[in-house]
């Protein structure tokens, strides 16, 4: 298959790119490198021993997107590109709607121009808001409390509307829970710019000595140890789900959502303890105030993905922490060249 990967230079994109290449597909990456560096893709080339095309392309530029998509003529698109920081989305909502929603509208026009009917879309468990019940199934009501989440919801709705209007259109909407970890080589991994928003890169940067302490955002939630509970999923399991979703698009029609999670909750304190064990490092932490907008618990019912995509998560917390540590320890400053 000819597969276009938008946002393929990013964290989830590089790991997925590697597995899509390993599955034998021809790939082209579109990315504007606004939150990534070309180094990750260079490393994927070396690891995979395969080549792929890369176009420095901004999804906001519809004309060039249409031309370049027609040039590559994809059979399917995996659509990662977008902005993803919840807090920033509250400060800069228009940027989020422009990059995420308008960018996706442009991409859907470009796919139409290139006669491509299949898309695998990066959605998020954020579309469930503060859940009514756990574990969360795909039929749980959809809602959101911030512009980032609403951008994902709008895109999901557009994909469902498009599928209703075009019988040949197929969209696999993948709702990620909390992706963490890195490729086992330690060559590619999560490399956030500035202070990490998310727990795992924060723990990894404290473990490697880049930051002093992990702030635990609240220990008075209604959870077993009072700290937030999430469904952490290894990035390689997540990447493998995209290969399964690509296959699924080949013999299904319509828009269908799939939860991608392990199906088990892990607390902040459990994660810190598991990382300390995997790294052999002390992870200093202190209890801080709750973070605005956070929920107590969120974990998936991944039954549908198992039944319909033939996919389930295989890697556990120890592998998530060990691979994340291997990446951080080998690349203390991420993809930045050593000073
Ligand atoms: P990332 O920032 O590492 O990757 C996104 C990539 O998209 C980057 O390389 C960035 O340069 C590119 N990009 C952004 N705007 C663009 C534009 N207008 N045109 C072209 N390229 C653009 O993020 P990630 O963690 O790899 O996430 C990938 C996708 O998965 C995002 O859509 C994100 O919302 C979604 N997601 C991520 C998580 C997570 O925890 N990482 C959870 C749920 C959903
Ligand atoms: N946490 C800390 N300290 C930190 C960072 C996080 O205690 O420095 C806690 C949070 O309070 C939460 C847990 O660790 O209890 C996980 O937080 P993350 O920021 O890693 O992940 P979230 O579940 O809050 O957010 C993630 C994505 C969002 C997405 C959301 C729902 O980052 O983009 O999942 O899918 F919207």
User: Looking at residue 73, which CATH number applies to its domain?
Assistant: 3.40.50.720
Q: Which class for 236: exposed (0-12), middle (13-18), buried (19 or more C-beta within 10 A)?
A: buried
pLDDT, tens digit, for every residue of 43-98?
999 999 999 999 999 999 999 999 999 999 999 999 999 999 999 999 999 999 99
Residue 339 in this model has a pLDDT that exceeds 80 = no
In a domain, 295, yes or no: no
Q: CA 173 to CA 306: how far, in whole Å?
A: 15
Identify the pLDDT of residue 76: 98
Q: Which residue range is the domain that position 62 belongs to?
A: 2-182+232-262+303-313
Query: Mean pLDDT over all residues of the chain?
Result: 97
What atom in ligand 2 is closest to the CA of residue 196?
Answer: 8
Whole-structure pTM over 0.95, yes or no?
yes
Q: How many domains does the chain have?
A: 1
Q: What's the CA-to-centroid distance between 124 and ligand 2, angstroms?
A: 12
Residue 289 maps to a domain? no
- 329 lies in a domain? no
Q: Does the annotation mark 148 as catalytic?
A: yes
Q: Is 18 exposed, middle or buried (0-12, 13-18, 19+ CB in 10 A)?
A: buried
pLDDT digits (tens, 9 = 90+) for 180-226: 999 999 999 999 988 999 999 999 999 999 999 999 999 999 999 99
Residue at 225 is within a domain: no
Residue 204 C-alpha to ligand 1 middle, in angstroms? 20
Distance separating alpha carbons of residues 126 and 104, to the nearest angstrom: 18
Domain annotation covers residue 308: yes
**Which residue out of 11, 128, 148, 299 is catalytically annotated?**
148
10 lines ligand 1 (CB under 6 A): yes
Nearest ligand to the CA atom of 87: 2
Structural domain includes residue 335:
no
Asked whether residue 278 is domain-assigned, the answer is no
The answer to whether position 292 is within a domain reads no
Give the list of residues 6+ apart from residue 299 with CB closer than 8 angstroms, or none: 134, 135, 136, 177, 229, 230, 231, 261, 262, 263, 264, 265
């Amino acid at each position: 298959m000819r597969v276009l990967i938008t946002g393929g230079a990013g964290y989830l994109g590089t790991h997925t790119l590697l597995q899509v290449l390993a599955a034998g597909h021809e790939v082209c990456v579109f990315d504007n490198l606004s939150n990534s560096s070309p180094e990750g893709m260079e490393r994927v080339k070396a690891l995979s021993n395969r080549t792929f095309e890369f176009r420095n392309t901004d999804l906001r530029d519809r004309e060039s997107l249409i031309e370049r998509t027609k040039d590559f003529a994809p059979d399917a698109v995996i659509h990662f590109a977008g902005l993803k920081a919840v807090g920033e989305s509250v400060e800069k909502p228009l940027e989020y709607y422009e990059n995420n929603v308008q960018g996706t509208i442009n991409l859907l026009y470009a796919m139409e121009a290139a006669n491509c009917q299949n898309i695998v879309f990066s959605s998020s468990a954020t579309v469930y808001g503060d859940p009514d019940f756990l574990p969360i199934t795909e039929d749980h009501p959809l809602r959101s409390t911030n512009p980032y989440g609403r951008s994902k919801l709008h895109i999901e709705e557009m994909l469902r509307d498009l599928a209703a209007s075009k019988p040949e259109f197929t969209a696999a909407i993948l709702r990620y829970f909390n992706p963490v970890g890195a490729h086992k080589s330690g060559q590619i991994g999560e490399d956030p710019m500035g202070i990490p928003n998310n727990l795992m890169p924060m723990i990894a940067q404290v473990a490697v000595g880049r930051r002093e302490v992990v702030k635990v955002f609240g220990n008075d939630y209604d959870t077993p140890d009072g700290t937030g509970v999430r469904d952490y999923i290894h990035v390689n399991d997540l990447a493998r789900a995209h290969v399964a979703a690509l296959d699924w698009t080949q013999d299904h029609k319509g828009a269908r959502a799939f939860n991608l999670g392990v199906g088990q909750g892990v607390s902040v304190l459990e994660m810190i303890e598991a990382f300390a064990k995997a790294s052999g490092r002390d992870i200093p932490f202190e209890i801080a105030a709750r973070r605005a907008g956070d929920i107590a618990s969120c974990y998936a019912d991944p039954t549908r993905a198992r039944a319909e995509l033939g996919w389930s998560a295989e890697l556990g917390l120890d592998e998530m922490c060990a691979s994340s540590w291997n990446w951080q320890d080998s690349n203390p400053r991420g993809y930045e060249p050593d000073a």
